[in-house]
Amino acid sequence: MFIEPKRGRGQGQKTGWIEVVCGSMFSGKTEELIRRLNRAKIAKQQVEIFKPSIDVRYHDIDIVSHNQTSIRSTPVNASDEILLMTSDCEVVGIDEAQFFDAGIVEVANKLAENGKRVIIAGLDMDSKGVPFGPMPALMAIAEYVTKVHAICVVCGDIAHYSYRKVPNEQQVMLGESDTYEARCRKCFIAG
């Protein structure tokens, strides 16, 4: 389990950092993001939470996990909108980061350089097993990367692929268990 690091003050200034929570669909990324954000709220830290506005799968504003835990967020169309809305906060949460434009990498760096804790959740691979959008770059610049795993619905092993059950070649296709399932390497390759 991820425990919040105790970060000191470098040269008189509070230091920020980036945490990435990645994995397949159903692996618990959103639950883990919500857990960390709720703990920051309990610590009375000022928290701002964002998601890309295209993510309307369960709710147009809230971030909602497959297990129906939820937290209020601000949907944004582009990564640079986040900078405009975070001047006063200490902690920034971002879900579904794979859908953001490449500018999210610079935004995350700027937030951390400005002393903020940045917690980012997103799919590391698409349904073809290819790294998804800005996620590889975000994982590279993060101080902390947590890879969480689902359970393969075919064999019960650990899963890190999101298998698409319907024919669609588009990289972006919103969906849940009607259109995707978690699979291990063996069952993903078997198709």
Ligand X SMILES: Cc1cn([C@H]2C[C@H](O)[C@@H](COP(=O)(O)O)O2)c(=O)[nH]c1=O
Catalytic residue among 81, 96, 113, 169: 96
SS (H, E, C) the chain: CCCCCCCCEECCEECCEEEEEEECCCCCHHHHHHHHHHHHHHCCCCEEEEEECCCCCCCCCCEECCCCCEECCEEECCCHHHHHCCCCCCEEEECCHHHCCCCHHHHHHHHHHCCCEEEEEEECECCCCCECCCHHHHHHHCCEEEEECEECCCCCCEECEEEECCCCCCCCCCCCCCCEEEECHHHHHHC
Q: Confirm or reject binding of residue 152 to Zn ion (CB under 5 A).
A: yes
CA distances from 31 to 35, 113, 132, 158 (A): 6, 26, 20, 18
Q: Confirm or reject binding of residue 131 to ligand X (CB under 6 A).
A: no
Q: Which residue's entry shows tokens 């692996």?
A: 27
Single residue of 19, 124, 126, 181 touching ligand X by CB under 6 A: 126
Q: Which does residue 157 touch among ligand ADP, Zn ion, ligand X, none (CB within 5 to 8 A, set by kind)?
A: Zn ion
Q: Which does residue 146 touch among ligand X, Zn ion, ligand ADP, none (CB within 5 to 8 A, set by kind)?
A: none
Q: Confirm or reject binding of residue 120 to ligand ADP (CB under 6 A).
A: no
Interactions with ligand ADP, residue window 14-33 (CB under 6 A): 23, 25-31
Q: Confirm or reject binding of residue 36 to ligand ADP (CB under 6 A).
A: no
Q: Which does residue 127 touch among ligand ADP, ligand X, Zn ion, none (CB within 5 to 8 A, set by kind)?
A: ligand X
Task: Tell me the one-letter amino acid at 176.
Answer: E
Q: Confirm or reject binding of residue 157 to Zn ion (CB under 5 A).
A: yes
Nearest CB to Zn ion, comparing residues 62 and 157 = 157
Residues that bind Zn ion (CB under 5 A): 152, 154-155, 157, 184, 187
| Catalytic machinery residues | 96
By CB under 6 A, name the binding residues for ligand ADP.
Answer: 23, 25-31, 65-67, 150-151, 153, 182
Binding residues for ligand X (CB under 6 A) = 25, 29-30, 57, 123, 126-127, 162, 171-175, 180
